[in-house]
Chain A
Amino acid sequence: MSEAIASQPQRNIISRLWNDKETRSVIIQIIAFAAIFAFFFFMVRNAISNLESIGKDISLDFLSQPSSYDISQSLIEYSSRSTHFRAMIVGILNTLLVAVFGVILATLVGFLLGVLRLSKNWLTNRLAYVYIEYVRNVPVLLHILLLHGIIVHSLPLPKNALNLGDAAFLTNRGFFIPSPNFEPLFWVVTGLFAAGIIFSIWFSRYAHKVQDATGRHYPVFWINLGAIIVVPVLAYFILGSPITWEIPELAGFNFKGGMVVRPEFVALWIALSFYTAAFIGEIVRSGISAISWGQTEAAAALGLSRGRILNLVIIPQALRIIIPPLTSQYLNLTKNSSLAIAIGYMDIVATIGGVTLNQTGREMESMTIVLLLYLTFSLLISSFMNWYNKRIKLVER
């Protein structure tokens, strides 16, 4: 009897802690964290000791050794005498290049598809639907291989290049296009462009203030468009087109001069963009159609014009639905760009995670680097999109 009474308070403390919602969740988190940490500690220690036993230590020294392999497309100076580190940078830039261009094109095409899907015109609606269903249901790797195959096999050799107005040439070695040489006066145009952007930020705020104070509306969109696009374009022509173009010319078996866009880049970029666009189209369609027709009617009944209804009522609500899944499509596109290796586009995976890894045998280090790089890109994209999502929420709320 006395024993039972003595042990009572102790049991009570434990059971009270365990039954308290907050303490229980803290306890569970601590246990889970400890377990995960122990597991990884064990794995990493094992891996290191196993590698050591076959004479491999963990080291990043290989990065400063010469790579001794060529890369077909490089945004920075690179040759086979450059280091593995430089090869990795080339790979990172190539991944970023295809990801950035891909996200832009996928967004444009995706929003267009979404709008077409909402169109009342039966034919455009059906065409967009068939396109989306076809593209979404075929693995992206097939799209990439198919497009690459078409470019490489259906375009002619350089000596029979498809000549576009003696300026650009399409061949199976790549698309040869004129490259711009900027003359000093061109910086005036660039300066005006930058000034236009700054002006339009200021003008948007100013117009907002004026509207609040007096009710007067400025055509903000058109004035900003004029400042950013029309003024620099006019200046360009007034200054006598201060860009000289270097036209590619056939020299022997290939073209010299100008710029070359590689078939691998084109295939990867177009395939990834149009594949992701199909998903974005569906996201946009469902985001906009989630806003009930009653919203449009109520706004129309107040006398708001179609454009204003879209800008003030439909889009702010639809964006909130669209942004989170859109973010994950951007992440998918970036990660899917690693399929580049299938057609020999030299991205992160093909450089540091491919040739470098094979030549140096540093699979632990290389793979960790590749993993960390993708993780960084993904976190950057999601934090940007989260920031944007919060911002539109704050502005509209």
Chain B
Amino acid sequence: MTENAQSTQATASGDNYAVIIRDMHKWYGEFHVLKNINLNVTKGEKIVVCGPSGSGKSTMIRCINALEEHQQGDIIVDGTELTNDLKNIDAVRSEVGMVFQHFNLFPHLTVLENCTLAPIWVRKTPRAEAETLGMEYLERVKIPDQANKFPGQLSGGQQQRVAIARSLCMRPRIMLFDEPTSALDPEMIKEVLDVMIELASEGITMLCVTHEMGFAKTVADRVIFMDGGEIIEENNPDEFFDNPQHDRTKLFLSQILEH
């Protein structure tokens, strides 16, 4: 984990960045949802994004794999700029994994088929090979015994772990998490966080929207605080939690700590 420490002061050479967001703005109709976002994520860096509900956290990370369109500024993911070119978008999406708050598993496919779908149809992997790969990642998230069940037969925590395995089967270089534990019952949060912590130790680039402060302290290289569509403050986790600079950050932290 020590190698991550240097990443914050990495040189400006574009090769070192997994994600570059430059002067980015987004509107929903008249509503200016993201305002002048600037964020460089170095390769292997772990970033936790937090902020009050409605502050634009989901919208921002969804822009990174073009699930949302931005209207101004640049987003460059792994050297590929996101434009209207569908080829670019597909290329970026197959390199960027995403885990959603509500899992979004495919209910008509078994757990293993959920994992092999994209390798087979996007990467053109032979089925047997895709299944081996799927089982490998199901083992990593510790549910190989559920491979032939349907998502509806699993608990929330198990479903979210399948969703993580499904993304990993595409061997992404960047993983995006949008509040992966906030739809889970408290007793299931740990099993998902454990998987994420293990994943973090493997050098993948991670952007994670979460309010799990323990996770942020263990894993994050940087914590980013958003409010009203802007990045208000960013710092390493120790400084961020112990010594917040802005009033809005202090207010937010006091609210989630009370909670």
Q: Write the residues of chain A forming the contact surface with B, with a CB cutoff of 8 angstroms.
A: 211-217, 292, 294-295, 297-305, 308, 312-313, 316-317, 320, 396-397
Contacts and interface: CB of A to CB of B under 8 A. Distances in A.
A297 B104 CA distance: 8
Contact of A303 (B107, B118, B130): B118
B93 A215 contact: no
Contacts of B121: 217, 304, 308, 312
A302 B124 contact: no
B106 interface: yes
B117 interface: yes
Interface string B120-135: 1111111111100000
Interface residues of B, number: 35
Nearest to A395: B108
Nearest to A303: B94
A289 to B, nearest CB: 16
Contact of B97 (A213, A301, A317): A301
B166 interface: yes
A301 B178 CA distance: 13
A346 to B, nearest CB: 46
Contacts of B123: 215
Given A215-B120, A297-B67, A317 B107 contact: yes
Interface in B134-164: 150, 163
Contacts of A313: 106
A304 B86 CA distance: 12
Given A294-B102, A298-B100, A298-B104, 5 more contacts: A213-B126, A294-B100, A300-B93, A305-B90, A313-B106
Given A302-B122, A303-B93, A317-B108, A297 B100 contact: yes
A168 to B, nearest CB: 45
Contacts of B129: 215
Name the residue in A300, A301, A304 with the highest tally of chain B Cβ atoms < 10 Å from its Cβ.
A301
Contacts of A300: 67, 93
30 contacts: A212-B128, A215-B120, A215-B124, A215-B125, A215-B130, A217-B121, A294-B102, A295-B104, A295-B106, A298-B98, A298-B104, A299-B106, A301-B67, A301-B97, A301-B167, A302-B93, A302-B117, A302-B166, A302-B167, A302-B170, A303-B90, A303-B122, A303-B170, A305-B90, A316-B108, A317-B107, A317-B108, A396-B108, A396-B109, A397-B108
Interface in B73-127: 90, 93-94, 96-98, 100, 102, 104-110, 117-118, 120-127
B152 to A, nearest CB: 11
Contacts of A304: 117-118, 121-122
B65 interface: yes
A212 B127 contact: yes
Contact of A320 (B67, B90, B100, B108): B108
A305 B150 CA distance: 24
A212 B126 contact: yes
B256 to A, nearest CB: 26
Nearest to A298: B104
Contacts of A320: 108
A217 B124 contact: yes
A211 B116 CA distance: 13
Contacts of A397: 108, 110, 150
A296 B107 CA distance: 13
A295 B110 CA distance: 15
A282 to B, nearest CB: 23
Given A298-B100, A302-B93, A312-B117, A215 B126 contact: yes
